[in-house]
Copies of this chain bind each other. A is one copy, B any other.
Amino acid sequence: VLAEIITIGDEILIGQVVDTNSAWLSQKLNQIGIKVKQITSVSDDFSHILSALQAANDRADLIILTGGLGPTRDDKTKTALCEFFNTKLVFNQSAFENIENLFTRRNIKITSENRKQAYLPENCSPLPNMIGTAWGMWFEKNDKVFISLPGVPYEMKHLVEEQVLNRLSQRFRLPNIIHKTILTVGIGESNLANIIEKWEDQLPTFIKLAYLPSPGMVRLRLSAEGADKMELEQEVEKQTQRLLMIIPQYIFGYGEDTLESTIGRLLLDRNLTLSTAESCTGGYISHLITSVAGSSRYYQGSVIAYSNDVKVSELKVSKELIENLGAVSKEVAEQMAAGVKEKYKTEYAIGITGVAGPEGGSEDKPVGTVWISVAGPLGIVSKNFFFGDDRSRNIRRSALMALNLLREQILNS
């Protein structure tokens, strides 16, 4: 089954908004075995929408439109759909009652513009939207399926997950596809590829492997396609376990896990607490840790020691040490970790100091130099990194490497 996505909206064509809907939708369609052939972004214009529909009709079996259904727009999408299907708009009582309910709850008066949103093409099967005023629409014509969805990402995703994916699986004969994403950290793509080459070569032909690199991380996605869903799941699980035997130290999670959620789980399981002392990362590690809901159960807090004065007064870093070795040194990172660990009375603590840039670099400590220490029950370990010139990337990579060093230490204990 080949699909085409048509996104409607001038805001995309003037570059005001990045079209994230299409990528999300493509992923979801791929997961149920539908391949996206083309993505087309067109303007809020009757004839442009109509010609995009006609062109997509020649290419794809499934056409999904997003956007162009808002109350302040001139509703060109629905008019174009009516023209394409040779039908007319009719008033839908349920859709109108839903709009009324939404407005009553928000204490807003309903306008004639909003009432227009309750008119839907006569030939469509409506996809009720309880969290917004624009309903989705499902059409069929000559064995092809057309779906029109609101452009608001939250509403579009809700409709797709609650109604569209199920209905597509029933409507089309789709292959069974199982996906599993294995998350690795601390090793680059080409090194990883070398280490797991033999494992990759022995994968059965119905399992495909994709490398998805991002700064500091590589995600490995296994996609298995076949007739027996249970068999696919078992084989993917078996291959995952094999991989785990080869690179146990690099795999930190699966699917939607993050390094910070993994650490949270490790600490909770062991009933341990954490604190941090950050210089160059300036609170970014703390931000990642506290972005996990429930992190207050293991995270005590941080000393963001951006100035050397604070390092000395709050973390008891030796002033002489800073003067002799500089603030970016193994010893200072260690004293920061030890200092906050004692101060906040936690089992684990991270200390980090580095040159994020663009200023502050020197011959022997260029921009991108970072020292990371983790203090734990068994003592302190430290690691040195050299990243690049880009400030925001240095901050991000430093934080990931610090969280990974912490993860390793918890697992080693």
Bound CA span A344–B306, Å? 11
* B22, A20: Cβ atoms closer than 8 Å: no
Interchain CB contact (< 8 A) of A392 among B27, B38, B41, B291:
B291
Q: Chain A interface residue count: which class?
A: 35 or more
Q: Quickly give the copy total for this chain.
A: 2
CB contacts (< 8 Å) of A12 on chain B: these are 22-23, 26, 39
Main secondary structure, interface of A, reads mixed
Indicate whether A291 sits within 8 Å of B395 (C-beta atoms), given known contacts A15-B23, A283-B285, A302-B302. yes
A303 within 8 A of B: yes
Chain B proximity of A222: nearest CB distance (Å)? 14
Within 8 A of B (CB), among A21-48: 22-28, 30, 35-43, 48
* A284, B282: Cβ atoms closer than 8 Å: no
Bound CA span A125–B309, Å? 57
Within 8 A of B (CB), among A122-154: none
* B306, A295: Cβ atoms closer than 8 Å: yes
* B36, A42: Cβ atoms closer than 8 Å: no
Chain B proximity of A282: nearest CB distance (Å)? 3
Bound CA span A300–B312, Å? 12
Chain B proximity of A346: nearest CB distance (Å)? 10
Chain B proximity of A369: nearest CB distance (Å)? 15
CB contacts (< 8 Å) of A291 on chain B: these are 282, 391-392, 395
CB contacts (< 8 Å) of A18 on chain B: these are 18-20, 23
Interchain CB contact (< 8 A) of A303 among B35, B284, B301:
B301
CB contacts (< 8 Å) of A87 on chain B: these are none
* B38, A14: Cβ atoms closer than 8 Å: no
Bound CA span A290–B19, Å? 29
Chain B proximity of A348: nearest CB distance (Å)? 14
CB contacts (< 8 Å) of A344 on chain B: these are 307, 309-310
- Specify the chain B residue showing the minimal Cβ separation from A41: B39
A289 within 8 A of B: yes
CB contacts (< 8 Å) of A304 on chain B: these are 276, 283, 286, 290, 301-304
Within 8 A of B (CB), among A321-366: 343-345, 356-360
- Specify the chain B residue showing the minimal Cβ separation from A282: B290
* A16, B212: Cβ atoms closer than 8 Å: yes
Bound CA span A330–B293, Å? 24
- Specify the chain B residue showing the minimal Cβ separation from A16: B212
A101 within 8 A of B: no
- Specify the chain B residue showing the minimal Cβ separation from A289: B282
Indicate whether A13 sits within 8 Å of B26 (C-beta atoms), given known contacts A55-B55, A301-B305, A306-B299. yes
A227 within 8 A of B: no
Closest 6 CB pairs between A and B?
A282-B290, A283-B286, A15-B26, A15-B27, A283-B283, A302-B304
With A15-B28, A301-B310 given, can you name 14 additional A-B contacts, CB distance below 8 Å? A14-B30, A15-B25, A16-B23, A18-B18, A38-B40, A38-B41, A39-B40, A282-B286, A282-B287, A282-B295, A296-B360, A299-B306, A301-B305, A313-B343
User: Can you report 22 residue pairs joining A to B where beta carbons are below 8 Å apart?
Assistant: A12-B22, A15-B25, A19-B22, A37-B43, A38-B42, A39-B40, A40-B41, A283-B287, A283-B289, A283-B290, A287-B287, A287-B395, A291-B391, A291-B392, A296-B307, A296-B360, A300-B309, A301-B307, A301-B310, A302-B303, A302-B306, A303-B303
